[in-house]
């Protein structure tokens, strides 16, 4: 592109890029909202999987806060880079803890491999948001 046709903005995105970033933010957020709702509904089960009473409850509460808080931030475009970075760390931890296909029983290897690879894709999309920010279609650029 020549300098006269380049519509790059100071937030490192083009007008079209901002629409794609909005689509990316809006398409990934429901996954974390849905997961957070599931954890609220089955809080005891979630806490049990994370270590039982005490630490498990603390971790389950933290997971719910991260999922709801960061998903809301992505939808609104507030602190999108920070929210995406937190979700990258959260997704890496969840992937290693719950989708470790290399240690799964033979009957679960395919399902766990698919979930592991799906999460790698989510991490890639979140990394894009960390790099690009929310774009210009946001309440506040980040």
Dump pLDDT digits (tens) for 63-115.
999 999 999 999 999 999 999 999 999 999 999 999 999 998 999 999 999 99
| In a domain? residue 141 | no
| In a domain? residue 10 | no
Tokens encoding 2: 């020549």
Q: What is the CA radius of gyration of the chain?
A: 18
| In a domain? residue 43 | yes
Q: pLDDT confidence of 1, banded at 50, 70, 90?
A: very low
Compute the mean pLDDT over every residue in the chain, rounded to the nearest whole number: 89
Q: pLDDT confidence of 12, banded at 50, 70, 90?
A: low
Contact 133, 141 (CB under 8 A): yes
| In a domain? residue 90 | yes
| In a domain? residue 9 | no
Residue 53: the pLDDT is 86
| In a domain? residue 103 | yes
- Dihedral pair phi/psi, residue 71, rounded to 5°: -65, -40
| In a domain? residue 84 | yes
Triad 36, 56, 25: Cα angle to 5°: 25
- Which is more confidently placed, 36 or 51? 36
What's the total number of domains in the chain?
1
**Domain span at 128:** 15-132
Instruction: Say how many C-beta atoms besides its own lie within 10 A of residue 56's C-beta.
Output: 17
């Amino acid at each position: 592109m020549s300098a006269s046709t380049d519509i790059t903005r100071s937030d490192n995105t083009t007008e079209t890029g901002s629409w794609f970033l909005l689509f990316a933010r809006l398409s990934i957020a429901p996954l974390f909202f849905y997961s957070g709702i599931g954890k609220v509904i089955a809080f005891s089960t979630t806490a049990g999987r994370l270590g039982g009473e005490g630490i498990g409850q603390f971790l389950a509460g933290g997971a719910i806060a991260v999922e709801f808080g960061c998903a809301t931030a992505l939808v609104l475009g507030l602190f999108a880079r920070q929210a995406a970075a937190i979700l990258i760390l959260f997704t890496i931890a969840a992937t290693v803890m719950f989708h470790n296909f290399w240690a799964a029983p033979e009957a679960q290897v395919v399902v766990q491999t698919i979930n592991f690879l799906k999460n790698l894709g989510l991490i890639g999309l979140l990394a894009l948001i960390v790099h690009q920010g929310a774009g210009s279609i946001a309440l506040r650029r980040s």
